[in-house]
Amino acid sequence: MYKTAYYESSLSEYAFLITGGAGFIGSNLVEYLLKHNAGKVRVFDNFSTGCKNNLEEFRTHPAFELLEGDIADADACRLACEGITHISHQAALGSVPRSINDPMRTHQVNVTGFLNMLIAARDAGIRRFVYASSSSVYGDSPALPKAEHQIGWPLSPYAVTKAANEQYARVFGKIYEMETIGLRYFNIFGPRQSPNGPYAAVIPLFMHAIKGNTAPVIHGDGEQTRDFTFVENAVQANVLAMLVKNAMTYNEIFNVAVGERISLNQLWDEICTIGQKKLSPLYLEPRKGDVRDSLADLCKSRKILSYQTEISLKEGLLKTYNWFLNGVE
């Protein structure tokens, strides 16, 4: 993965901070930056959800740094920003069910921690601040596809925290002349995404089920749809956002997706085909806070950010299956 350069100029003069860099998306971004000769790549993570194994292959790289700390600690955030030119803020507590079970902790990490990082970046003079938002911000809006300017009421505490991030980033951009860029992720999946724990995402759970020859659980009737997006596409969006020179991108939000939707039932059938298995899912009650249908409008991302969907859903599923099966893409 990551043979293609998404930015033509050298990265050697830049120092990148990846918060949550031991996580699924963050560690993939670290891999890209190191493969393309970034001057410095510092990971800031408390390993509450991230995994040290995700960073093992990078530890001996001369441009790699690891700072263990918590974004809820303002002093640690200031330390993390020293000598940095660009920030990709991936650190967060994900999962709608987790936020419903523990809204206070989700707020502390996703809102207070986010604000700590914004303040630390401002005080360090770091202008470019790219951050992970979520399609959950679209909430109860029935419109399809989802366009950035048209959102609804949030359906979960998690969605509220991501909406708050977008508001804080916009205000900091306007008041403090920072270049904030938000990326609304639509169900990112791929290598290094863990199937373990009570809040694991659906594709790694499906992959784990295929590998173990066990029936997966689907909440609801399985006809709910999602715009599943391979992680390499999300990495591309982050790289473009961190390095783009177009002022029209500053203090804006961009969808990161494939622009196609598939039901969970269809998704399971695709994964069964890849794994050459035939298993029937176990259907349980729908989960609170989940949206019914999701599909991204990519017009703005393509036109202004120059984002392209490099990897299709089927190609991404095959790469992910190979990784789950063999540990390689």
What are the extents of the domains in the chain? 15-186+230-259+295-310
pLDDT at residue 9, as a whole number: 86
Per the annotation, the verdict on 321 as an active-site residue is: no
For the domain made up of 15-186+230-259+295-310, give the CATH fold.
Rossmann fold (3.40.50)
Q: Is the pLDDT of residue 189 over 50?
A: yes
Q: What percent of the chain has pLDDT over 70?
A: 99
Find out whether 307 and 236 touch, Cβ atoms under 8 Å. yes
pTM of the model: 0.93
The pLDDT of 252-256, averaged and rounded, is 98
The pLDDT of 70-86, averaged and rounded, is 97
Quote the mean pLDDT of the chain: 94
The pLDDT of 231-239, averaged and rounded, is 97
Which of 8, 31, 116, 9 minimizes the C-alpha distance to 323?
A: 31
* Long-range own/partner contacts, residues 4-10 (CB < 8 A, 24 or more apart): 4/310, 5/36, 6/32, 6/235, 6/236, 6/239, 6/240, 7/36, 7/239, 7/240, 7/243, 9/243, 10/37
Give the model's confidence band at 327: pLDDT under 50 very low, under 70 low, under 90 confident, else very high.
low
- Report which of residues 287 and 166 the model is more confident about: 166
Which of 14, 138, 158, 168 is the catalytic position? 158
pLDDT at residue 328, as a whole number: 45
Q: Is the pLDDT of residue 329 over 60?
A: no
Report the distance separating Cα 299 and Cα 221, nearest Å: 31
Q: Which of 184-188, 289-293, 312-316 is least confident?
A: 289-293
